[in-house]
Amino acid sequence: MQAIFENLPLWLQGMGMTLMLTGVVTLIGLPIGILLAGMRVSPVAALRVVAAIWTEVARNTPLTLVFFFTAFVLPKLGFIFDFTLGAILALTYYTSAFFAEAVRSGINSVPIGQAEASRSIGLGFGQTMGLVVLPQAFRSVLPPLINVVIALTKNTSVAMGFFVFVLTSVAQRLANVYGDQALEVFIGIALSYLIITVPLGQLVDHLERKWSVQR
């Protein structure tokens, strides 16, 4: 543990990058995910197909391979940018698909009668979604969305292999310098992740209990 306290600026740097990646990717990825989910239930077939392909491909590609693309392939094609931006791109592409699936399963959790009722009083697709289904889907969607953010927090660690300095990189560097304290360093960094993920998990439990409705 001492090794971490002696290198607090390094830890702060890694923590800051991890939090920044998580925050930025959530801010960009969530709207994309909601859009994709909306496309997947829309009446327009082409939208459905494009959204389905996007989510299925993203979910079945290893995140490391996506990073490989942004870090090694894009620069060869002439798109040269900062590795941090590359990490944001990779994580956003990957995570948006999981956001989309969480939103879609939330939409599917709204009882069918709600949509039928709003259709039968003459509301259109946009009105049915906006006024009836999505407001109800919101509370069943939020817990899974937070779960995706938790997974995202852990996934930011992959950026370490592609030249971005995140918390996991702190562990590796300190464990190499302080060989005798390696165990403590790793436990300390693991706890650093838990500081982020455990409160989020608690929030999920709380929301699920508070909002669980008997249908």
Partner 1 sequence: MSGSVLFDAPGPNAIRRSRIMSIVFAVAAVAAVALAVYQLWLGGAFYQDRWDIFSDERLWFGARGLLFGLGTTLSIAGIAAVGAIVLGVVFSILRNAYSRWVRIPTTVVLEFFRGMPVLLMMLFILIVFASGAYWAVVWALIVYNGAIIGEALRAGMASLPKGQRESGLAIGLTPLRTTLEIELPQAFRIMLPIILAQLIVLLKDTSLGYIVGSEEMLRIGRQLVDFYDREGGPYALSMFFVMLAIYLAVNLSLSAIVRWLHKRVSRPRKGGPNLDGTKTEAIPVSTTAIRAQRTADTDGPPQPPGAGGTLGG
Name the residue with tokens 């879609």: 104
CB nearer to partner 1: pick between 98 and 165: 98
DSSP 94-138: HHHHHHHHHHHHHHHHS-HHHHHHHHHTT--HHHIIIIIIHHHHH
CB nearer to partner 1: pick between 6 and 68: 68
Q: How far is the CB of 210 from partner 1 (least distance, A)?
A: 12
Q: How far is the CB of 69 from partner 1 (least distance, A)?
A: 6
**Which of 5, 1, 12 lies closest to 180, judged by CA?**
1
Q: How far is the CB of 65 from partner 1 (least distance, A)?
A: 6
CB nearer to partner 1: pick between 31 and 113: 113
Q: How far is the CB of 128 from partner 1 (least distance, A)?
A: 6
d(CA 57, CA 177): 40
CB nearer to partner 1: pick between 10 and 119: 119
Name the residue with tokens 């407001």: 135
CB nearer to partner 1: pick between 31 and 172: 172
Residue 214 neighbours by CB under 8 Å, 6+ apart: none
Q: Is 156 exposed, middle or buried (0-12, 13-18, 19+ CB in 10 A)?
A: buried
Q: How far is the CB of 93 from partner 1 (least distance, A)?
A: 11
Q: How far is the CB of 82 from partner 1 (least distance, A)?
A: 19
* Termini Cα distance of the chain: 49
CB nearer to partner 1: pick between 4 and 148: 148
Single-letter amino acid, residue 30: L
